[in-house]
């Protein structure tokens, strides 16, 4: 596979380490109500759809960026890739 | 001046150099290295008068060079600064930036061709999944080479630098020499 | 040796070779199959199951029958297709799969027993008793049925891997592929043209049809020359593109030296990963046969292959001078008869299933007829031709069978592309859902006529280039025509005798019918029940015939019956080349410490720790047992001073205004309060609350920390910290830089460590007051060398870790050894390190297993309740908090002896069940300081059971030992020494 790195263009997927569901970026509020239950969901429950999925990939043998890659897990078509940092900042504002 | 005697990454007192047909591979121990990273919201500095390059690029100045290593991060190279406290110099040149000494973090290996770009590009084909056709002078990238993570810099049509983590120096030399040697045969 | 006229062989270059020990001669340009044929050798191997005599079926990589073991000794390569093995001087080949000689194979008895060996025979017969399968049935079956044998020696040859990039990859250099490459080459595109054959041309080399009124190979030569003149075109002969991967990545193997006796000092094969913006699939078509009674004798081959042997290699199978016949269901067989007549070969005639068949030349046509039987034990002698109720026998030496052509849709069907049935072609062609960016052209696309294929190559390349914004010039086509190719839907000749469908795996029409009877209705079940298409050729010549037979059984259409799914590789790929040449110690690169050479010079033995090689111990002359060495090293640390390279620990530079806050969030314990110039032990949790890693955190400045990780986890911890920085808290002002390799870090441990260090540091007060336990500083040593000193202790002794730029590590070690000689300085390795930490109850990987909690280590209170951190919330959940195991020390009672790590702990007299299991031993060693064996382990409520006598049981080793529960702090439990 080729991962379309937002800064570096198409890069060999072998340069990356795969983590999975990008919902891992949505860490629950540790002080919120039912924090433990929220963390249980966060840690143990992941989506694994056959179809379009937002995933975290780490450019380990590259620029060390974490990317959010939107990928169809059936066709492996990649619909987009963003710096996770930007995604997180965007979600915060 | 310390009375301890340094050794090169390949464990010798002098740098190693080997030629294979048109290609020459040289260990370059005398380069100071320091990573430079920005603080949040900090303006990009101009250490040693360098315009720090965009992603995937490198720039060469009179006293130092730089290549992009990641968002808001560059590696600064100081030729002839291998024994100096190069990080301190970079810190002076880039006030307020986050600077980390990397001189011995990597071994710099330079590969030159005395027959133009072709032998160098043929060597690249056997080493890294980077298209030599689009990886021209001024390009810099980090990628995988024989299970190693390396920085790759195209200094010129006929000149390529490979930066490998120092502890992997011998494994990297083996990969480079074996491949270049095979090509020369 | 008898040859026909013409051919593309070099008669000036004869090549000697041997087959089964007999000497023969062929010409440069021959394949082994062609050379054997020219020497009158038609019997080449025995079939897999019935040991039937077999010869050559095809002239390409689809060959099911003519498999040989090529070369000798360590280079012997079994199951090599003689039809693609290039002849070279001195080639040696042996036939396979027979007991006794190839001609008189003793296992041919299997053929007589064939009624027993029908499809599913093994499944049904060898089911009972079950235990017999592994010991008796399977080994016996494997001996009897099989192919060539491996040499069982290491492969002596070198292999390589490489990466190529192009605008257009053209797969196949036949008529379509050459035109595609020419079109793209002229357009200035970066082109790779890969072909599995030794020379370009594909079927053009096998046919007699003219291009521009001249033999086609002359046109091929001109195109090849033009392609060679383009710097943007790379032609790769002997290169098989075997698989299509995501996003335009193709796997290919170049057989660099398979056509040479040995690769010399070069590589034998190269594995290429080709990244292509677009690709043209011009892989041609594979001819199919027509199953009829006894259709597997040597001398019966595909009619197109027969043409190839006659036209390209100037040879034919069969007895010299014996007439040749062709059996066909369409026009294509007539091309063979026409070409043979032109070569002066006696042709019996063409047996054509069609009543209205038209001859292509001057030979007899048996219209509306079929071949219904053959004779000839080791080679074809006669065929039976049946028309209506009349059957006649005719002497022949060879028979060509033309059942039509299957477009080679293999690569287009990767990524689960589904081929579609074209009723007018009676064949599957690539569907629209094939791999993106792959454009089928020529015969693959069902346009196999010469003129059609040439034009289609231009069309495909032009379309593919337009897709990436490139414009192809108009390319003139050579003058050519399409030969008529009418064909009848005739799939097999019905009859009572066995008619082979899959030659290599001995699957007959009857087997397929039987599978259907036994309710194997899906084509996938059929394959597995009969093993059809599962041999080394993957059914390239048999799959469609099998589908047709099955369709007949089910009363369905062929496309309704289904297709099989094609997966890479197209043809077999050796594991050697997939490995890409990185073998032995280069299989995984090794990291060396800065003091590696120094340690080696001291006679150290080394041990792999992850990718690192670490000094394991430093044996001295006269030390007969490793324990003597380790005991000495441990004792030296506890009584004098030891030095050990600890560079392998991961080192991460953490800087920024929010560095302290960041570390507070990734470490479970409080880090923000750490003072500048101090070090703190840190625990990192996984988000699920379990211990992840431990290390030290040194604050070198207000916004500058250096943290260490364990050697094994260095990469993962760095990745996880970057995750936290980029994905969780991107607004924190913090940067992470790995500096593991930049610094050589040496542990200096033992009561005399301060005395030793005082001799090398420049003007730094190392007194306990000025530089206490857990202090750190940047300083200089040995006359101005910048260094970092950390007063931390893994051994429990007064100890330091000293870091210098890695290039000085070797010299520093020498200096420490020299300056500490009178103090008894002793280098120690990982074994001594292990003993020292067990004596001190320090956890490492054996204790921090991923299922460990901080409480289990007795460090539960380190998980700060005052702040959030990774894993903090989950560490407090009920299940984890209630975990009762605690780290304890164990020592044998009633005598001494080694406690085995991995033993489980029980109360004395307890029945040994999972319910009564109370814990386990994690680490064990001999403690020279205590003079006895000791161990660490987890024991339920262990912290409250000091002094209790329990049992460490290891049923695997048959060991039981009474042990006493003690503090894991075996040495200096008050921690006086390290603070001294």
Matching CATH topology for C161-285+407-467 and C599-648+742-837?
Answer: no
| A51-65, C123-137, C873-887: range with lowest mean pLDDT | C123-137
- Chain C closest-CA separation from residue A55 CA (Å): 12
CA angle C489–C491–C492, rounded 5-degree value: 140
What CATH number does the domain located at C599-648+742-837 have?
3.30.1360.120
Instruction: Output the pLDDT for position C123.
Output: 61
Residue C382 has pLDDT above 90, yes or no: yes
Instruction: Output the pLDDT for position C35.
Output: 98
In C, which residues are within 8 Å of B168 by CB distance? 589-591
* DSSP track, C691-706: EEEEEEEEEEETTEEE
DSSP state of C103: T
Share of chain A above pLDDT 70, in %: 98
CATH classification number, C884-979, choose in 3.40.50.300, 2.40.30.110, 1.25.40.10, 3.30.1700.10: 2.40.30.110
Instruction: Output the pLDDT for position C585.
Output: 80
CB contact under 8 Å between C160 and B100, yes or no, is no
User: What value does the mean pLDDT take over residues C845-865?
Assistant: 92
CB contact under 8 Å between B102 and C808, yes or no, is no
Q: How far is CA C764 from CA C746, C793, C809, in A?
A: 18, 20, 20
pLDDT digits (tens, 9 = 90+) for C629-641: 999 999 999 999 9
Instruction: Output the pLDDT for position C883.
Output: 83
What CATH number does the domain located at A2-92 have?
3.30.2270.10
CATH classification number, C650-738, choose in 3.30.70.1400, 3.40.50.300, 3.20.190.10, 3.30.70.20: 3.30.70.1400
User: What value does the mean pLDDT take over residues A41-65?
Assistant: 96
Closest residue of chain B to A5, computed from CA coordinates: B55
Q: How far is CA C708 from CA A60, C76, C239, C358, C753, in A?
A: 19, 51, 49, 84, 22
Q: Which chains touch A (3 or more CB pairs under 8 A)?
A: B, C
Torsional sign, CA C501, C507, C510, C513 = negative
Reported as a pLDDT band with limits 50, 70 and 90, residue C193 is very high
pLDDT digits (tens, 9 = 90+) for C454-505: 999 999 999 999 999 999 999 999 999 999 999 999 999 999 999 999 999 8
Residue C139 has pLDDT above 80, yes or no: no
**Are C55 and C44 spatial neighbours (Cβ–Cβ below 8 Å)?**
yes
Q: Is the peptide bond before C129 cis (omega within 30 degrees of 0)?
A: yes
- Chain B closest-CA separation from residue C253 CA (Å): 14
d(CA C470, CA C458): 14
Mutate to test the interface with B, among C742, C779, C802 (most CBs of B within 10 A): C742
Classify strands C776-781 and C347-352 as parallel, antiparallel or unpaired.
unpaired
Reported as a pLDDT band with limits 50, 70 and 90, residue C731 is very high
pLDDT digits (tens, 9 = 90+) for C695-724: 999 999 999 999 999 999 999 999 999 999
Residue C132 has pLDDT above 80, yes or no: no
Q: How far is CA C48 from its chain centroid? A: 26
Instruction: Output the pLDDT for position C143.
Output: 57
Q: How far is CA C212 from CA C186, C480, C738, in A?
A: 20, 7, 66
Q: How many CB pairs under 8 A join A and B?
A: 36
User: What value does the mean pLDDT take over residues C437-452?
Assistant: 97
Instruction: Output the pLDDT for position B60.
Output: 97
Q: Is B122 exposed, middle or buried (0-12, 13-18, 19+ CB in 10 A)?
A: middle
Secondary structure string (H, E, C) spanning C184-209: HHHCCCCEEEECCCCCCCHHHHCCCC
For the domain made up of C161-285+407-467, the CATH class stated in words is: alpha beta
Say which of C163, C596, C804 has its CB closest to residue B128.
Answer: C163
CB contact under 8 Å between C247 and A66, yes or no, is no
CB contact under 8 Å between A8 and B149, yes or no, is no
Torsional sign, CA C954, C958, C964, C968 = negative
Structure tokens at C948: 């209790």
Classify strands C949-954 and C904-907 as parallel, antiparallel or unpaired.
antiparallel
d(CA A34, CA C368): 83
In A, which residues are within 8 Å of C730 by CB distance? 84-85, 88-89
CB contact under 8 Å between B142 and A85, yes or no, is no
Domains of chain B: 17-184 (3.30.1360.120)
Residue C100 has pLDDT above 80, yes or no: no
Say which of B70, B141, B144 has its CB closest to residue A64.
Answer: B70
- Chain B closest-CA separation from residue C467 CA (Å): 20
d(CA C528, CA C534): 8
Identify which of C458, C439, C346 has the alpha carbon closest to the alpha carbon of residue C398.
C346
CB contact under 8 Å between B133 and C165, yes or no, is yes
Q: Is B37 exposed, middle or buried (0-12, 13-18, 19+ CB in 10 A)?
A: buried
CB contact under 8 Å between B182 and C267, yes or no, is yes
Q: Is C687 on the interface with A (CB under 8 A)?
A: yes
User: What value does the mean pLDDT take over residues C600-622?
Assistant: 96
Residue C601 has pLDDT above 70, yes or no: yes
Say which residues have a Cβ less than 8 Å from residue C403's Cβ, sequence separation at least 6.
Answer: C287, C288, C289, C290, C328, C329, C490, C491, C545
- Chain C closest-CA separation from residue B95 CA (Å): 13
**Are C649 and C747 spatial neighbours (Cβ–Cβ below 8 Å)?**
no
Say which of C247, C722, C731 has its CB closest to residue A66.
Answer: C722
Q: How many CB pairs under 8 A join A and C?
A: 72
Closest residue of chain B to C249, computed from CA coordinates: B129
Identify which of C478, C407, C411, C477 has the alpha carbon closest to the alpha carbon of residue C438.
C411
Q: Is C265 on the interface with B (CB under 8 A)?
A: yes
Instruction: Output the pLDDT for position C98.
Output: 80
| C302-306, C520-524, C900-904: range with lowest mean pLDDT | C520-524
In A, which residues are within 8 Å of B142 by CB distance? 61-63
Reported as a pLDDT band with limits 50, 70 and 90, residue C302 is very high
CB contact under 8 Å between A8 and B141, yes or no, is yes
Reported as a pLDDT band with limits 50, 70 and 90, residue A93 is low
**Mean pLDDT for all residues in chain A:** 95
Say which residues have a Cβ less than 8 Å from residue C673's Cβ, sequence separation at least 6.
Answer: none
**Sequence-ordered strand ranges (E) for C306-389:** 324-328, 347-352, 365-367, 370-375, 382-387
Q: How many CA atoms lie within 13 A of C478 on its CB side?
A: 26
State the architecture of C1-153 in CATH terms. Answer: Roll (3.10)
d(CA C921, CA C793): 24
Instruction: Output the pLDDT for position C118.
Output: 66
Q: Is A86 on the interface with B (CB under 8 A)?
A: no
pLDDT digits (tens, 9 = 90+) for C140-177: 655 555 678 888 999 999 999 999 999 999 999 999 99
d(CA C641, CA C756): 8
Instruction: Output the pLDDT for position A31.
Output: 94
Identify which of C146, C42, C100, C102 has the alpha carbon closest to the alpha carbon of residue C506.
C146
**Are C256 and C270 spatial neighbours (Cβ–Cβ below 8 Å)?**
yes
Residue C87 has pLDDT above 70, yes or no: yes
Reported as a pLDDT band with limits 50, 70 and 90, residue C292 is very high
Using CB atoms and an 8 Å cut-off, which of residues 326-355 of chain C contact chain B?
A: none
**Mean pLDDT for all residues in chain C:** 94
> Coil, helix or strand for B15?
coil
Rg (CA), chain C: 38
Q: Is C100 on the interface with B (CB under 8 A)?
A: no
Determine whether domain C289-403 maps to CATH 3.30.565.40: no
Closest residue of chain B to C648, computed from CA coordinates: B167
Q: Is A27 on the interface with B (CB under 8 A)?
A: no
Residue C186 has pLDDT above 70, yes or no: yes
Say which of B4, B7, B131 has its CB closest to residue C785.
Answer: B4
Instruction: Output the pLDDT for position C928.
Output: 96
Domains of chain C, by residue range, sit at 1-153, 161-285+407-467, 289-403, 498-555, 599-648+742-837, 650-738, 884-979
Identify which of C704, C782, C770 has the alpha carbon closest to the alpha carbon of residue C744.
C782
Helix-, strand-, coil-residue percentages of chain C, each rounded to 5:
25, 30, 45
In C, which residues are within 8 Å of B37 by CB distance? 655, 735, 737
Q: How far is CA C118 from CA C121, C289, C444, in A?
A: 5, 22, 35
Identify which of C741, C798, C787, C747 has the alpha carbon closest to the alpha carbon of residue C644.
C747
Place of tokens 């150290």: C604
d(CA C707, CA C694): 10
């Amino acid at each position: 596979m080729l991962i379309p790195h937002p800064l570096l263009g198409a890069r060999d997927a072998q340069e990356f380490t795969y983590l999975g569901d990008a919902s891992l970026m949505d860490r629950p509020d540790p002080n919120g109500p039912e924090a433990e239950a929220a963390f249980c969901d966060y840690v143990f429950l992941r989506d694994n759809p056959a179809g379009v999925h937002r995933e975290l990939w780490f450019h380990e043998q590259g620029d060390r960026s974490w990317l959010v890659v939107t990928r169809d897990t059936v066709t492996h078509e990649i619909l987009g890739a963003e710096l996770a940092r930007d995604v997180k900042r965007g979600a915060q504002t | 001046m310390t009375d301890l005697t340094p050794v090169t990454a390949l464990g010798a007192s002098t740098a190693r150099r080997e030629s294979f047909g048109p290609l020459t591979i040289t260990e370059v121990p005398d380069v100071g290295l320091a990573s430079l990273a920005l603080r949040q919201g900090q303006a990009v500095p101009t250490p040693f008068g360098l315009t720090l390059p965009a992603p995937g690029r490198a720039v060469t100045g009179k006293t130092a060079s730089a290549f992009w290593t990641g968002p808001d991060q560059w590696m600064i190279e100081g030729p002839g600064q291998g024994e100096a406290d190069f990080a301190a110099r970079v810190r002076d040149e880039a006030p307020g930036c986050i600077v980390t000494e990397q001189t011995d973090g990597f071994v710099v290996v330079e590969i030159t061709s005395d027959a133009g770009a072709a032998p160098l590009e043929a060597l690249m084909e056997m080493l890294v999944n980077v298209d030599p056709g689009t990886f021209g002078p001024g390009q810099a990238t980090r990628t995988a080479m024989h299970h190693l993570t390396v920085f790759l810099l195209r200094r010129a049509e006929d000149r390529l630098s490979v930066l490998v983590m120092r502890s992997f120096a011998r494994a990297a030399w083996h990969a480079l020499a074996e491949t270049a040697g095979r090509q020369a045969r | 040796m008898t040859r026909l006229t013409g051919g593309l062989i070099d008669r000036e270059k004869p090549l000697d070779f041997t087959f089964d020990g007999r000497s023969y001669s062929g010409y440069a340009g021959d394949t082994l199959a062609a050379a054997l044929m020219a020497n009158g050798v038609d019997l080449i191997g025995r079939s897999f199951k019935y040991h039937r005599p077999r010869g050559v079926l095809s002239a390409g990589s689809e060959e099911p029958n003519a498999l040989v073991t090529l070369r000798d000794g360590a280079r012997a390569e079994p199951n090599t297709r003689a039809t693609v093995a290039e002849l070279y001087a001195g080639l040696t080949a042996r036939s396979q799969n027979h007991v006794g000689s190839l001609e008189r194979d003793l296992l041919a008895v299997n053929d007589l027993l064939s009624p027993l060996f029908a499809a599913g025979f093994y499944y049904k017969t060898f089911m009972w008793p079950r235990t017999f399968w592994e010991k008796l049935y399977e080994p016996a079956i494997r001996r009897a049925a099989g192919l060539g044998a491996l040499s069982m020696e290491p492969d002596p040859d070198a292999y390589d891997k490489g990466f190529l990039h192009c605008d257009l990859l053209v797969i196949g250099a036949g008529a379509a592929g050459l035109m595609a490459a020419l079109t793209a080459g002229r357009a200035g595109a970066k082109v790779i043209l890969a072909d599995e054959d030794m020379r370009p041309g594909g079927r053009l080399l096998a046919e007699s049809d003219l291009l521009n009124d001249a033999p086609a190979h002359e046109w091929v030569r001109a195109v090849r020359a033009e392609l060679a003149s383009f710097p943007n075109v790379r032609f790769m002969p002997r290169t098989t593109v075997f698989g299509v991967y995501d996003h335009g990545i193709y796997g290919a193997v170049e057989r660099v030296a398979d056509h040479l006796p040995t690769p010399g000092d070069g590589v034998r094969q190269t594995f290429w990963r080709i990244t292509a913006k677009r690709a043209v699939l011009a892989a041609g078509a594979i001819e199919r046969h027509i199953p009829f009674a006894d259709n597997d004798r040597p001398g019966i081959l595909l009619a197109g292959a027969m043409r190839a042997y006659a036209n390209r290699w100037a040879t034919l199978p069969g007895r010299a001078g014996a007439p040749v016949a062709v059996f066909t269901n369409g026009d294509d067989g007539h091309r063979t008869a026409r070409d043979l007549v032109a070569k002066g070969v006696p042709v019996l005639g063409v047996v054509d299933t069609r009543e209205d068949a038209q001859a292509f030349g001057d030979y007899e046509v048996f219209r509306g007829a079929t071949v219904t039987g053959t004779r000839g034990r080791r080679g074809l002698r006669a065929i039976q031709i049946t028309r209506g109720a009349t059957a006649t026998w005719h002497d022949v030496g060879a028979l060509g069978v033309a059942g039509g052509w299957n477009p080679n849709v293999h690569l287009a069907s990767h990524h689960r592309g589904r081929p579609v049935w074209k009723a007018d072609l009676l064949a599957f062609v690539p569907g629209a859902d094939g791999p993106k960016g792959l454009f089928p052209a020529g015969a693959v696309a069902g346009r196999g006529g010469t003129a059609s294929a040439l034009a289609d190559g231009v069309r495909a390349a032009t379309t593919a280039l337009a897709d990436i914004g490139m414009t192809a010039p108009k390319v003139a086509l050579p003058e050519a025509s399409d030969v008529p190719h009418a064909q009848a839907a005739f799939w097999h000749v019905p009859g009572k005798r066995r008619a082979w469908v899959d030659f290599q795996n001995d699957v007959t029409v009857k087997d397929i019918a039987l599978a259907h009877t036994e309710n194997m209705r899906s084509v996938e079940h059929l394959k597995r029940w009969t093993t059809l298409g599962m041999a080394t050729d993957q059914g390239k010549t048999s799959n469609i015939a099998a589908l047709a037979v099955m369709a007949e059984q089910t009363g369905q259409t062929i496309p309704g019956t289904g297709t099989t799914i094609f997966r890479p590789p197209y043809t077999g790929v050796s594991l050697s080349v997939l490995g890409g040449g990185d073998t032995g110690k280069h299989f995984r690169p090794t990291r060396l410490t800065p003091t590696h050479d120094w340690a080696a010079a001291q006679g150290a033995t080394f041990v792999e720790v992850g990718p690192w090689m670490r000094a394991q111990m430093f044996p001295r002359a006269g030390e007969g047992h490793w324990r003597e060495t380790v005991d000495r090293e441990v004792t030296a640390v506890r009584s004098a001073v030891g030095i050990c390279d600890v560079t392998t620990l991961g080192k991460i530079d953490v800087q920024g205004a929010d560095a302290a806050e960041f570390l507070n969030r990734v470490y479970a314990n409080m880090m923000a309060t750490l003072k500048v110039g101090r070090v703190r032990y840190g625990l990192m949790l996984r988000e699920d609350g379990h211990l992840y890693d431990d290390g030290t955190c040194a604050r070198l400045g207000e916004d500058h920390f250096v943290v260490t990780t364990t050697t094994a986890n260095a990469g993962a911890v760095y990745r996880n910290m970057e995750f936290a920085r980029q994905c969780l808290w991107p607004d924190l002002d913090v940067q992470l830089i790995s500096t593991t390799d930049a610094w050589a870090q040496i542990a200096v441990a033992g009561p005399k460590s301060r005395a030793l260090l005082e001799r090398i540091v420049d003007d730094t007060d190392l007194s306990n007051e000025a530089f206490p336990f857990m202090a750190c500083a940047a300083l200089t040593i040995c006359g101005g060398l910048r260094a970092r000193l950390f007063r931390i202790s893994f051994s429990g002794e007064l100890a330091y870790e000293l870091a210098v730029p890695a290039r000085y590590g070797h010299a520093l070690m020498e200096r420490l050894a020299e300056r500490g000689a009178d103090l008894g300085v002793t280098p120690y390795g990982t074994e001594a390190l292990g003993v020292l930490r067990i004596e001190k109850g320090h956890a490492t990987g054996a204790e921090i297993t991923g299922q460990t909690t901080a409480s289990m280590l007795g460090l539960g209170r380190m998980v700060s309740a005052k702040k959030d951190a990774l894993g903090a919330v989950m560490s407090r959940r009920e299940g984890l908090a209630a975990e009762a195991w605690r780290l304890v020390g164990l020592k044998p009672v009633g005598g001494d002896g080694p406690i085995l790590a991995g033993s489980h702990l029980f109360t004395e007299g307890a029945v040994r069940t999972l319910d009564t299991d109370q814990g386990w031993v994690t680490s064990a060693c001999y403690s020279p300081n205590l003079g006895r064996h000791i161990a660490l382990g987890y024991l339920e409520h262990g912290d409250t059971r000091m002094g209790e006598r329990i049992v460490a049981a290891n049923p695997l080793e048959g060991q039981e030992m009474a042990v006493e529960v003690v503090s894991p702090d075996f040495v200096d439990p008050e921690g006086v020494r390290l603070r001294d």
